[in-house]
């Protein structure tokens, strides 16, 4: 910095100080504090450092102290558990990993070291009953292949532990009902990990749709696709997966369509197409197109596929506006845009939302339910209903006919209370 610029800055500062109030001038003149931040009720906050014209950054997460968090055992150490769920505990405020269950001792020993889990809190599948004797474990997170969810949920319930279970809940509505009954008998909570009902953009879409921001929501349009990899994976085996694209990725379209208005479909129509000769689809379906008919007259058109390039889109078409979420069903990258008439012109605006790790939000919701005794937003009954509707979709695709479903009058009939707004 030159002498000239120092002089100029000093002059500007002096000129400014004259025009300011005495207190402001004193604050401007005094050196900044060595450390900032205020602690109240065990929460740390900072004064704003950007003008009120700017989006204010989120405050520090203020996670619960480690000894007040709900301890989880993670059952099944595959891709989702190790790539997404275990890392998400670091962003969770109320949950912590305290035990592991796996069929691979080497993998489990490595992950236990990575996450600070005691060797005596690592179990083989056959030893899950011993979870009962581990008081650090209050809940389990079942992340095994679909057909094993029933076995693992029943084992956890028998050990007296609350259960968070990955989607799809099971491979049939019958299995899903068994799981609900077992958890009710054991007096433990059961939540299905439907992350779209916790993801901030999807929650905002639900809020806007239900609040009338789009007028009457008449049509929904949802696509969730991903091109399957090499043949031989459990997702391509009917006995382990229960089906193909529908229960794996199409389920997001189904579950989110049901959650948007809180209505249950009264009928479904569907068609399914699977190319001959592709070894990936020897046992499970490739493409499914299905339409859900809701009692208000709203319809949701859904497409799911195991052989086309990834597309995860959601669109709600209302009488006075539309809304879309790009990357709606992805782990991140969501963009929410709303279109409506403003001053006689069509205007499309983007609503930005603070980035949140969906898996951490979901873990915290369930941990909160365990701590406070409240039912989860997406309990086992929510998973049973998806299996009932998927069975109707398969029947409609097979016969080419519309399949009627029992009319459910109540909104959010299978859901618990809305999750609290994330602080
Ligand atoms: P994965 O194949 O990567 O992991 C499955 C784990 O289960 C592996 O550790 C495997 O060793 C173990 N396992 C135990 N018994 C097995 C058996 N008999 N056959 C095969 N594996 C066995 O699968 P993933 O992608 O982690 O999926 C696990 C669950 O999570 C599935 O229910 C899936 O639908 C669900 N999932 C959910 C999301 C989501 O976004 N919520 C994303 C991916 C997967």
Ligand 1, residue 149: give the atom nearest the CA.
32
> Residue 17's pLDDT is what?
41
Q: What is the pLDDT of residues 369-384, one digit of tens each?
A: 999 999 999 999 999 9
34 pLDDT band, cuts 50/70/90, is confident
Q: For ligand 1, is residue 142 a contact (CB within 6 Å)?
A: no
Which region holds residue 45: left if phi is over 0, alpha if psi is between -120 and 50, else beta? beta
Separation of CA 145 and ligand 1 centre (Å): 4
The tens digit of pLDDT for each residue in 123-143 reads: 999 999 999 999 999 999 999
Q: Does 79 contact ligand 1 (Cβ within 6 A)?
A: yes
Decide: 291 in ligand 1 pocket, CB within 6 A: no
Write down the pLDDT at residue 13.
37
Averaged pLDDT, 115-121:
98
Contact call for residues 247 and 145 (beta carbons, < 8 A): no
CA of 118 to the centre of ligand 1 (A): 23
**pLDDT at residue 242, rounded to an integer:** 98
**CA of 147, closest atom in ligand 1:** 32
- Average pLDDT of span 324-334: 97
Q: pLDDT class for 25, splitting at 50, 70, 90? A: low
Ligand 1 contact, 312 CB (< 6 A): no
Q: Quickly state the pLDDT bin for 26 (edges 50, 70, 90).
A: low
The mean per-residue pLDDT over the stretch 15-33 comes to 60
Pocket test of ligand 1: the residue of 143, 150, 329, 359 to mutate, having most ligand atoms within 8 Å of its CB, is 143
What value does the mean pLDDT of the chain take? 93
The model's confidence at residue 210, banded by pLDDT at 50, 70 and 90, is: very high
**CB of 235 sitting under 6 A from ligand 1:** no
Give the tens place of pLDDT for each residue, 239-271: 999 999 999 999 999 999 999 999 999 999 999
Domains of the chain listed by start with CATH number: 66-193 (3.40.50.720), 196-354+377-404 (3.30.360.10)
Active-site amino acid positions: 167, 252
Tell me the whole-structure pTM to 2 decimals. 0.92
């Amino acid at each position: 910095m030159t002498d000239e610029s120092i002089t100029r800055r000093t002059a500007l500062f002096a000129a400014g100080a004259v025009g300011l109030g005495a207190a402001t001038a004193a604050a401007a003149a005094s050196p900044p504090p060595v450390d900032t931040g205020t602690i109240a009720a065990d929460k740390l906050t900072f004064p704003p450092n950007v003008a009120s014209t700017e989006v204010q950054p989120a405050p520090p997460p203020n996670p619960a102290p480690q000894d007040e968090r709900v301890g989880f055992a993670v059952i099944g150490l595959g891709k989702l558990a190790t790539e997404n769920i275990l890392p998400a505990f670091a962003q969770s405020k109320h949950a912590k990993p305290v035990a592991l269950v796996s069929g691979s001792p080497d993998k489990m020993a490595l992950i236990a070291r990575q996450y600070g889990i005691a060797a005596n809190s690592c179990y083989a599948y056959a030893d899950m009953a011993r979870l009962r004797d581990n008081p650090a474990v209050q809940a389990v997170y079942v992340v095994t292949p679909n057909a094993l969810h029933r076995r693992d949920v029943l084992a956890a319930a028998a050990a007296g532990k609350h259960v968070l279970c990955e989607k799809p809940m099971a491979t049939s509505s019958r299995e899903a009902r068994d799981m609900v009954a077992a958890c009710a008998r054991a007096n433990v909570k059961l939540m299905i990990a439907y992350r779209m009902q916790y993801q901030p953009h999807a929650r905002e879409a639900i809020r806007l749709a239900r609040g009338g921001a789009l007028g009457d929501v008449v049509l929904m349009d949802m696509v969730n696709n991903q091109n399957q990899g090499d043949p031989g994976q459990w997702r391509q085996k009917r006995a382990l997966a229960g089906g193909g694209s529908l229960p794996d990725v199409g389920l997001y379209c189904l579950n989110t369509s049901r959650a948007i208005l809180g209505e249950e479909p009264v009928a479904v129509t569907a068609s399914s197409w699977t190319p001959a000769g592709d070894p990936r689809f020897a046992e499970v379906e490739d493409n499914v197109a299905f339409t859900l008919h809701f009692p208000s007259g709203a319809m949701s058109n859904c497409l799911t596929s195991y052989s086309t390039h990834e597309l995860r889109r959601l669109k709600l078409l209302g009488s006075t506006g539309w809304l879309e979420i790009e990357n709606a069903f992805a782990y991140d990258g969501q963009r929410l845009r709303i279109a409506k008439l403003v001053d006689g012109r069509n205007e499309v605006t983007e609503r930005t939302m603070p980035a949140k790790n969906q898996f951490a939000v979901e873990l915290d919701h369930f941990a909160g339910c365990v701590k406070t005794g409240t039912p989860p937003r997406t309990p086992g009954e929510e998973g049973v209903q998806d299996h009932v509707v998927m069975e109707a979709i398969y029947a409609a695709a097979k016969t080419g006919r519309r399949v009627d479903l029992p009319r459910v009058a109540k909104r959010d009939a299978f859901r618990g209370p809305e999750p609290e707004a994330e602080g």
